[in-house]
Amino acid sequence: MQRTIFNFILAVEGVLDNFLRSVLTALGIVFGVAAVIAMLAIGTGAKQALLDQMKLIGTNNIVINSVVLKEGEGGEETANTPKSSSSGSGSSNSKGKEGKRPWSPGLTLEDLKAIEKVLPGVDKISPEVVEQTNLVFGGKTGKAKVVGITNAFFDLNNLGIATGDLFHKEHIEGGKPVCIIGQTVQTKYFPETEPIGQWLKVGTSWFKVIGVLEKRVASKESLDNLGIRDSNTDVYVPVTSAMLRIRNRARITADKIKSEDWDNDEEGSKKEDENYHQLDKVVVRLADAGTLEVSAQVIAKILKRRHKDLVDFEVEVPELLLQQQQKTQDIFNRVLAAIAGISLLVGGIGIMNIMLASVMERIKEIGVRRSLGAKETDIVLQFLFEAVIISLIGGLFGIGLGVLAAVLVSKSSEIPTVVSTWSIALSFGVAASIGLVFGLFPARKAAKQDPIKALRIE
C-alpha cells in the first residue's frame, strides 16, 4: 500500500509539473464527457416528458375529433387510416348543389352507441361538448369554457376530485343543473367561500357546484401539443345538461332552416361555416392495447357510414403518435451517443499520445527509479496513475460543461432535459476507464525500458 501511495504521489507531481499540457490533453475527454452528460440529460428529459404526456392523455385511448366541413366540401376520400395517425377531414369534392355543404348529422351521441355496439373491447367511452360562455357569481363575471361530459371523462384523463363528488347517475340521465369546477375557477370566483353547494351562473342558467377538481400541473406546451385544455380553468357539467341548458348544436330550429335556405337567397351569398356537430370530441378507451390501430380503422368506417360517406371527423391514436415521437428521439440520442463516443475515443488517443511522448522525455527518470530498486509494477502504476488523473481532470471539467449545456438546451429550446446523479456517475466512470485503457500501453512501455540504457541517455 505504501508503494502504491508513493507511486500515486509521484504521478500527481508529474501532472502538476506539466499542468497546462495535462489540461490540453484532457480536452478530448472534456468534450466527450460533456456530450455524454448532455445526451443522457436530453434522453432522460424526453422519456420523462413522454411519461408525463401519457399521464395526461391516458393509455389505450382513441380520440375522435369533429371537423367542420367548409362550404362545397365533401368526403369522397376514405377514412381507413387512423392518424396515428388520423383519418383526415373531407376532400374538396362536392355533393349536391354546387356551393352547398353536403349534409351530415355530425358527431352525435348516437355515434357513441353505434361504436359501443359494433366495436368489441370498449372499456370506457367519453363524449365532450365545449362551449365558450360567461360565468357570474357574487358580482364577479368572466368568460370560461363549459364542458359537457360524463364521469368517464375524469377517469380517461386521470383527473381526481379535490373536494365534493362526481356526477351521479340521475344528474346525467336527468340533465340536472350541477357542475364541477377547476382550481382556477375556484380561486377566481370563490376565494373566501366554500364553493360546494353554491350556485354559479353559466351562460343563462344556474348550476350548483358539487365538486372541485384536483389541480393539474402541466406545461402549456404539453397541453397544446396534445390538444388538451387546461382543466383548471374549465367548468364541467353533465353532457345532457349542456345540451339541455347551454346549447344543443344538433337541434334544428326554424331560424336555422331559414338561414340555410340558399334557394331564397337572390345574391347567393354564403354565411360563415357553422359547427353542426353535437359533440366536439369522443374518447374511446380499449381494454387491449394491441387492437388500437385496427379499432381506429373500424371506428373510422363506422362513422363514415353514419355520416353519409362524409369524413367530417378525425380519428387519432395519441399513444402511437407518442411512440413515433419516441422513436425519433431515440434516433437523435443515438446520433449524440456516436458523437460522444468519437469525442471520447479522440480524447483517449490524445492521452495515449501524450503519455508515450512523456515516456520518451522521462527515460532517464525511469532508469534512476529502476536503479534505486523500483520494480516494473511501480513504473506501470506511476504512469497509469498519471493517465487516470488526466482523464479525471477532463471528466470533472466535462461534467460541468455537460450540465451547463443541458441547462442551455432546456432554456433555449422546447427540449426538456434532466441531469441525473447516475448520469454524472456514469460519465465519471467512463472518464476513469478511458485513462486506464489508453494509459496502460504507455505505462507498460515505460516499465519495459532497460535501466542501463535509460541511465546513459542525456
Beta strands, E only, 108-226: 122-137, 140-149, 161-164, 178-181, 199-202, 205-213
pLDDT for the residue 390:
84
* Residue 251, burial from CB neighbour count under 10 angstroms (0-12, 13-18, 19+): exposed
Average pLDDT over residues 396-413: 86
pLDDT for the residue 437:
80
Averaged pLDDT score across all residues of the chain: 78
Q: Rounded to whole angstroms, how far apart are CA atoms 291 and 434?
A: 48
Count of helices and strands (H, E) across the chain = 16, 10
Q: Rounded to whole angstroms, how far apart are CA atoms 118 and 139?
A: 49
pLDDT for the residue 321:
65
pLDDT for the residue 407:
87
Question: In angstroms, how far is CA 453 from the centroid of its own chain?
Answer: 65
192-206 burial string, b = 16+ CB within 10 Å, else e?
eeebbebebebbebe
pLDDT for the residue 54:
63
Asked whether the predicted pLDDT for residue 244 surpasses 60, the reply is yes
Highest-pLDDT range among 2-16, 261-275, 396-410, 434-448: 396-410
pLDDT for the residue 268:
42
pLDDT for the residue 381:
82
The more confidently predicted of residues 432 and 125 is 125
Residue with cell string 380520440: 63
pLDDT for the residue 255:
56
| CB distance 167 to 185 below 8 Å | no
pLDDT for the residue 427:
78
| CB distance 63 to 281 below 8 Å | yes
The more confidently predicted of residues 81 and 352 is 352
Q: Rounded to whole angstroms, how far apart are CA atoms 363 and 442?
A: 12
pLDDT in tens, 92-117: 344 444 555 567 888 999 999 999 88
Asked whether the predicted pLDDT for residue 264 surpasses 60, the reply is no
Entry pTM: 0.61
What are φ and ψ of residue 362, in 5° steps? Answer: -115, 30
Average pLDDT over residues 49-74: 72
Contacts 24+ apart (CB under 8 A), 324-328: 324/84, 325/50, 326/46, 326/47, 326/50
Q: Rounded to whole angstroms, how far apart are CA atoms 162 and 154?
A: 12
pLDDT in tens, 301-349: 999 999 888 888 888 887 766 666 677 777 777 777 777 777 778 778 8
Asked whether the predicted pLDDT for residue 439 surpasses 80, the reply is no
Beta strands, E only, 12-150: 61-66, 122-137, 140-149
Average pLDDT over residues 241-248: 90
- What is the share, in percent, of the chain residues with pLDDT greater than 90? 20
Asked whether the predicted pLDDT for residue 266 surpasses 50, the reply is no
pLDDT in tens, 201-227: 999 999 999 999 998 776 565 555 556
